[in-house]
Chain A
Amino acid sequence: GAGVSQSPRYKVAKRGQDVALRCDPISGHVSLFWYQQALGQGPEFLTYFQNEAQLDKSGLPSDRFFAERPEGSVSTLKIQRTQQEDSAVYLCASSLTSGLTYEQYFGPGTRLTVT
C-alpha cells in the first residue's frame, strides 16, 4: 500500500514569507509526528498528533510554527514569516498507534530553503 507522502518535496521561500507543508499519513494510522532535520544532524521532534488532537507541541521552535490535523488524517505544518534558520528538511511520520514498540513510517521529507 501507499506510504507516507509529503508535498511539496522542495520549497524555496524568501525570508518573511509564509509556507505550508503537507503530510498524508498511511491510511488508518492514529499517530502522526513532525520532525525537523537540519543539515548534517539527526531529526528533532517538533509535534505529535493522536488522531486530530495535538498532544505534544513541545518541540516547535517558536510561535511562528503551527501544525494541524483537523480530521485526523492529513496534517499541515505552517511556518509564518520564515527565517533563514528555518531552512531544513521537515519530516512527517505516522504510526498505527501510540505504543512504544510500534514502528514509525517516515515520508521523504520537504526540503525548505529560506533565502
Chain B
Amino acid sequence: GNSVTQMEGPVTLSEEAFLTINCTYTATGYPSLFWYVQYPGEGLQLLLKATKADDKGSNKGFEATYRKETTSFHLEKGSVQVSDSAVYFCALPNSGGYQKVTFGIGTKLQVIP
C-alpha cells in the first residue's frame, strides 16, 4: 500500500531561519499529497496539498512541490516564526476511491526567538 517516510524531529530553529522538512512517498499511481499541521492543544488541520505531479501547494508562507521523479514532497518555509512551532505530518490517501489517509510519523518543529 501507499506509504510515506518523513524526517524525524525534533527540529529546533531560530526565528527567521529557513525550514525544510523532508518527505518521500511510495504509492500506486499519482495520488494527491498533503501536509497537515498540529498546533499545541489543537486538532490536525490541512496546511497544503498538491493534486498532481509538479504542482506546488502553498499556504501561510509554506510551500511543497510534488516531485514525481524523486517521489518527494518536501515542506519549506523561507522564514519561520515562533507561531509556526507545531508538529507537521506528511500524508497521502490510499488508492481505494476514498480518503483513507496514511500519515508520516510527524516532525516536531520548535522555533525559538
Residues on the A chain within 8 Å of B106, using CB: 40-42
Docked-complex contact A41 and B105, CB < 8 angstroms = yes
Residues on the B chain within 8 Å of A66, using CB: none
Docked-complex contact B51 and A48, CB < 8 angstroms = no
B42 CB-CB contact with A under 8 Å: yes
Residues on the B chain within 8 Å of A45, using CB: 100-102
Summarize A's interface: helix, strand, loop or mixed: loop
A72 CB-CB contact with B under 8 Å: no
B35 CB-CB contact with A under 8 Å: no
**Contact residues of A with B, CB < 8 Å?**
3-4, 31, 33, 40-45, 48, 50, 55-56, 91, 93, 95, 98-109
**Contact residues of B with A, CB < 8 Å?**
6, 31-32, 36, 41-46, 49, 51, 89, 91, 93, 96-106
